[in-house]
Structure 1
Amino acid sequence: MAETDPLDRYWRVMLLVTWLGAAAVFVYMRWDAIRWFVLGDTDDNMRIMQVRALMSGQSWYDLRQYRLDPPFGADMHWSRLVDLPIAAIKYVLTPFAGALNAERAAVAIAPMLPMGVAMASIAVAARRLLAPWAFVIAIAILFCAPSLRGMWVPLRIDHHGWQLALLSLAMVALTDPKRARGGALLGAASALSLVIGLEMLLYLATAGAAMVLMWIWDGTRSRALAVYGASLAGGSALGYLLFASYANRAPVCDALSPVWLSAMVSAGAVAVALPFIAARTAGTRLAAAGLGGIAIAAAFAYFWPQCLGRLEGVSPEAQALWLNNVREALPVYRHGAQTAIAIASLPVIGLVGYAIMLWRSRADQAALMRWAPLAALALLAASLLLWQTRAGAASQLLALPGATALGWMILPRLRGSTHLLVRTTGTVAAFLLISGLLTQNAARLLPKKEDDNPRLKAVNIANNRCPTLRALRPIALLPKGYVLTFVDLGPRLITVTHHDAVAGPYHRNDEDIVDVMKAFRGTPEAAQRMVARRGIDYVLICPNLSESTIYASKARNGFYMQLNRGKVPSWLERVPLPASSPYKMWRVIKR
């Protein structure tokens, strides 16, 4: 791409300064949360526990969390890849700042590293697709995407930030004018993402299918397809050797195990072989690709039939008691209007932009092949919102090129107007609309569910208070013990106290989750039997926490509700806590 603007040669510097500035603003805005170690998500708490275990000598390939379900430990389907930057920052800073402050710095800095990767990727894609300066609009819109932005703020150290960054690299690969380089990048980004987890599998498969379809349409892309296949197969194999835990060496369905390793190596081998088998006509290429896809699917179904359903593989009991009640697993329309509009605005705007660009590129094959794969990915992500809200961040990321295209068509025209009002007010209004900020802020005027519902207000107060260091400090001062508490409190409890817990919200430990759910929803006698079987020392509840609403609605006379009403069985003894504590706690005196 020719760079005619003298300032354009400094776009990388501008991008770096923007990233550093955004990082500084995020740290400033989240300073109190960093100081008080407010890891608000269960995955963030569990991630730092994994890092601590690694730095304390736990085996690289042992990802069991032994502070849950002791002494057996909770089996995690994650990999060590995301642990590395957090551990490295903490290791480097500990001699200078001490372990505690080094850990605070690590959880503050680490999430913004994938943000930098994503910003660079989106900038490059916008420059390739539209114009050199279009990246300014793209980055501005990125920071207006609430679900996406929230994945990279300080303390958000779970694996989703890196998966989104790798998905942005896949977008760059699909727009690369150097086709072989794009194929290599797409294969490597896909392999790395799969090493971290399978959450992006559908998007990666769609990107891979796009590579094949582009080769079918244009046989000169043979080298790009072969390089993609080699990169995908080789990267997946290397990632498996370096990062697959002991547990993931079994044929499990929810991680890069022999199941998905064989699928990726097979897919890569087919992609390498296709150009050598049939490259003469589009018809022969289509037939060969179809046969290759059928062979891969048939082999997968034959060898791994257990992985044809939901990859979590939880028991029907755990599905009914727990997984069906997870909010992020609900479709976007099951949430309040404010949440739904905040999540879906940008994906819808992006699809409008893609539709316009596809229409404008209909006679330009090269442009169409750049826009069509990204539009397909954005459509897939937006559609998945009707299944699970957890697709929100990916749908906003994939919408960025489409929304940027709209901005590039409209904003420069408004800026070039001879009328001052159009140049100023019109430009601002157009950006607010294109970025989704207009609809997001308009949605805030809608009434919230909790506005007229004291019960929901109480839930929000409990959700904010219970995980805090202030609330958990009196519990941390008690003698170490094994605690029966809510599933969603387990990771936070083991992170900021020396106590152990029964379970966290991780599907491989569905038996432990079921034990907790049945204990709080069942009779005190049934709970006592579980407590005795596990050797529990304490029972801890936080009334009105989100999870407690399940027990309250499903078992109005269950163990949790009896405890909350003050009806305590004789085998428990009240543990005194400060009057301001949101918790209620008991010591087991008879098993």
Structure 2
Amino acid sequence: MAQRKDETLEQRAVGLLERHWKLLVIIVWLGFAAWSVYSKWPDIRFFNLADTDDNMRMMQVRGLLAGQDWYDLRQYRMNVPAGLDMHWSRLVDLPLAGLILFLKPLLGGATAERAAVAIAPFLPFLVMLFALALTARRLISPRAYLLVFLALFFAGSTNGMFRPTRIDHHGWQLAFLAIAVAGIADPRKVRGGLTLGFATAASLAIGLELLIYLAIGGVAMTLFWVQERDEAERLRAYAVALGGGTAAAFLLFASNANWQAVCDALSPVWLANALVGSALLFGLAWISPSDWKHRLALGVGAGLIIAAFHAFMWPHCLQRLEGVSPEVEQLWLSHVREARPVWAHGWRVAPLIVALPITGIVGWGVLVWLRRNDPEALRRTLAASAPGLVAALLLMWQTRTGPAAQMLATIGAAALLWWVVPKVWNATRGIVRVLAVTAVVLICAGAAVPFLMEQLPPKPQTNRTIAIGKANRLCNSLWGLRAVGLQPKGMVFTFVDLGPRLINVTHHDAVTGPYHRNGEQIGDVMNAFRGNADQARRIMRKYGADYLLTCPNSSTTTIFMSETPKGFYGQLSRGQVPGWLQPVQLPAGSPYRMWRVID
């Protein structure tokens, strides 16, 4: 009797998991949001936008709300009066601007901005949760989505993109990538094709960082059709959504600058590629010869045509899309941490990034093996696993692929848990069973490595590393910049990475920020601090600088002191200040040193 009652309760619980999955997704989302606000409250309260992109995004939104033209994305508080050309999109500005407009009458301007930067990152996180849950339900089991959320708990790089104050575009791109994978996994052909096509177009409207994963989706749609002629419906729907969606995204969101043939954003380059590709794929779906070998030949031919079209029409886009000069690559881009391979970050950091992706690869392999006797499910599983595998491999090139690699790995980790845990549970009893299942969860969810790393003694801190950490915190703080902001408005010549924060929280203008389209300004700033005083004087005159601002001991200074210790910054740090600079008195304990340019 008790056994039947237990079985009934179990069946009820299973039914609740299956029927009310959307409610459970929302509960998980609310829990994440509540904990994130609690843990990040000091950053919210003091408007601590730690990343340069978050500060610049806020400036873009302020410009839009102040009447800046929808298609004008230049940042006029930098490189005055011409401004800096930004390769971003208004699509990400919309939720932030909407929140500020809604909250401003209730809270006031400053508080509305604080609330907006706290709330906005949760919007793409909710989208991502639903997309990941759909993928798990479609490929693993209708109840497996909770295991995805368990794995996501250990995805530190991914979750970091959705924390309060993280308002740049990466969260939305991850959300659209998750939707794209859910479209690939969809057993309903037309809906799946439309989902992938529109998600691809939306992601392209934001940026091209995920282009390779989106291209894999297009290849998958073609291979589906090659293997099974009935997949023509999916391919046709994808082609229509890709072409129409990309055209709409270009017309709605491409800035004035992006109407030129630029390579680093949705421009005529990528619009033409998408239109040609979608037309060819639509034609393939329309023809659909009965022999799979003929379909394969047509698919390969279409791919070659697209590649040839791109190479012939846009040869300047066959290299790195940033298009920076070799000098700027050496002076700046080579020092960007996220542009380095994962192994370059050292043994304390690299395992934290790769643990979950490796688990995910194993789990995807298990899922493929489990679906080996179902051709239709097998092809969807293989295709859905491909972006995650590529993202994991790309970690060997750039660490910036970590958030995508971890997010996509959660499906594989959930599949591994779904397969392993019942076997362990049925093979043991009592406390041994509980311990065994706990160990399996930790290992399969990619948590074992981070857990073990936390048990190691912390890396010894030297006086130098302590000083660097303190300077980085204080120079980004409102307190640190308050005294700088009290000086009469002017053009401030400062480090590349300080520019966005400076213009966000003070009335001053700056020369540049870390954005590749502005290679001339980045190169000038780096050369000014690395060269001699006369060169620095000429460069500052070029930009009409009123002030010179430095943050001693911050991360940027380590580059100057290690590579050019006798350069201009090295001279300033040793007190060798030229006569054309007059010290500006800042409060005791200020992290900054500031001079007025008097000649």
Aligned to 1:551: 560
Who is 1:497 aligned against? 506
1:133 is aligned to 143
Residues of 2 paired with 1:473 and 1:452: CA distance? 29
Q: Which residue of 2 aligns with 1:12?
A: 22
- Could you tell me which of 562, 574, 577 is aligned with 1:568? 577
Q: Select 2:549's aligned residue among 536, 540, 551.
A: 540
Q: Which letter does structure 2 place at the counterpart of 1:307?
A: C
Residue 209 of structure 1 corresponds to which residue in structure 2? 219
Rounded to whole Å, the distance in 2 between the matches of 1:126 and 1:504 is 40
Alpha-carbon distance in 2 for matches of 1:71, 1:116: 40
SS of the residue corresponding to residue 162 of structure 2 reads coil
2:188: which partner in 1? 178
> Greater CA deviation, 206-215 or 184-193?
206-215
SS in 1 for 2:565: coil
Structure 1 counterpart of 2:396: 386
Is the contact between residue 247 and residue 271 of structure 2 (CA under 8 Å) also seen in structure 1?
A: yes
In the TM superposition, residue 455 of structure 1 has moved relative to its aligned partner by 2.5
Quote the Cα distance in structure 2 between the aligned partners of 1:149 and 1:411: 25
Note the C-alpha offset of 1:399. Answer: 0.9
Q: Which deviates more from structure 2 when the two are superposed, residues 422-431 or residues 483-492?
A: 422-431
2:450 to 422, 440, 447: 440
CA shift for structure 1 position 115: 0.3
Instruction: State how 1:311-350 maps to structure 2 within 5 Å.
Output: 311-350=321-360
Match for residue 262 of structure 1?
272
CA offsets per residue over residues 524-545 of structure 1, 9 Å max, x none? Answer: 1110111122210000011121
- TM-score when normalising by structure 1: 0.97
Amino acid corresponding to residue 481 of structure 1 in structure 2: G
Provide Cα deviations, 1:325-364, integer angstroms capped at 9, x if missing partner: 1111000000021211111000000001111222232232
CA distance in 1, matches of 2:235, 2:54: 37
The total of aligned residue pairs comes to 588
CA distance in 2, matches of 1:36, 1:175: 42
Residue type at the aligned position of 2:589: S
CA distance in 1 between partners of 2:157 and 2:123 (Å): 17
Q: Distance in 1 between matches of 2:380 and 2:468?
A: 47
Q: Which residue of 1 aligns with 2:362?
A: 352
**Could you tell me how far 1:445 is from its partner in structure 2?**
3.9
Task: Give, in angstroms, the shift of residue 425 of structure 1.
Answer: 1.8
Task: Tell me how far apart the structure 2 counterparts of residues 406 and 453 of structure 1 sit (CA, whole Å).
Answer: 42
Distance 2:506 2:462 in 1: 33
Residue 425 (structure 1) aligned with residue 452 (structure 2):
no
Deviates further, 269-278 or 181-190: 269-278
Q: Is the partner of 1:444 in helix, strand or coil? A: helix
**2:55 matches 1:35:** no
* Paired residues for 1:123-272 under 5 Å: 123-272=133-282
Structure 2 CA distance for aligned equivalents of residues 202 and 548 of structure 1: 35
- Does the aligned pair in 2 maintain the 1:312–1:507 contact within 8 Å? yes
SS at match of 2:549: strand
In the other structure, the counterpart of 1:466 is 475
Task: State the alpha-carbon separation in 1 of the partners of residues 347 and 460 from structure 2.
Answer: 13
Q: Deviations over 1:494-517 (max 9, x none)?
A: 001111111100000000000100
Correspondence for 2:590: 581
Instruction: Tell me if the contact between 1:277 and 1:288 (Cα under 8 Å) persists in the aligned partners.
Output: no
Percent pairwise identity: 51
2:292 equivalent in structure 1: 282
CA distance in 1, matches of 2:104, 2:467: 40
The DSSP-based 3-state class of the residue aligned with 1:151 is helix
What code does the residue aligned with 1:588 have? V
Other-structure match for 1:479: 488
Q: State the secondary structure of the residue aligned to 2:561.
A: helix
- Counterpart CA distance in 2 for 1:453 and 1:225 is 58
How far 1:453 sits from its partner (Å)? 4.0
How large is the RMSD of aligned CA atoms in angstroms? 1.5
- Residue 376 of structure 1 deviates from its aligned partner by 1.6
| Equivalent-residue separation in structure 1 for 2:83 and 2:545 (angstroms) | 15
Q: Specify the code of the residue in structure 1 equivalent to 2:188.
A: K
Tell me if structure 1 keeps the 8 A contact 2:14–2:143.
no
Match of 2:122 among 112, 135, 143: 112
Amino acid of the structure 2 residue aligned with 1:442: L
Whole-Å separation in 2 of the counterparts to 1:4 and 1:469: 50
Does the 8 Å CA contact 1:318/1:513 hold for their aligned counterparts? yes
- Superposed displacement of residue 398, structure 1: 1.2
CA deviation vs aligned residue, 1:197-245 (integer Å, no higher than 9, x gap): 0000000001110111111011110011011011000000000000100
Deviation at 1:456, TM superposition (A): 2.7
- Taking structure 2 as the reference length, the TM-score comes to 0.96
Answer with 18-27 or 59-68: which moved more: 18-27
* 265-274 vs 458-467, which moves further: 458-467
What amino acid sits opposite 2:483 in the alignment? Answer: P
Matched, 1:408 2:405: no
Cα distance between partner residues in 2 of 1:452 and 1:81: 42
1:107-134 alpha-carbon deviations (Å, 9 max, x no partner): 1000010000010111111111111211
The partner residue of 2:517 within 500, 504, 508 is 508
Most deviating of 327-336 and 352-361: 352-361
Q: In structure 2, list runs of 5 or more residues that go unmatched.
A: 1-10
Q: Deviations over 1:469-515 (max 9, x none)?
A: 11111111111110010000000000011111111000000000001
The structure 1 segments of at least 4 consecutive aligned residues displaced by more than 6 Å after TM superposition are none
User: Aligned-pair distance for 1:447?
Assistant: 5.7
- Residues 433-452 of structure 1 show CA distances to partners (whole Å, capped at 9, x for unaligned) of 1122220121234466x625
Check conservation: 1:3, 1:9, Cα contact below 8 A: no
Retained in 2: the 8 A contact 1:328–1:390? yes
CA drift at 1:417: 5.8
Segments of 5+ residues of structure 1 without an aligned counterpart are: none
Q: Distance in 2 between matches of 1:554 and 1:188?
A: 47
1:305 is the counterpart of 2:315: yes
Counterpart residue identity of residue 537, structure 1: D
1:576 is paired with a residue whose SS is coil
**Following the alignment from structure 2 to structure 1, what is the Cα–Cα distance between the partners of residues 288 and 377?**
25
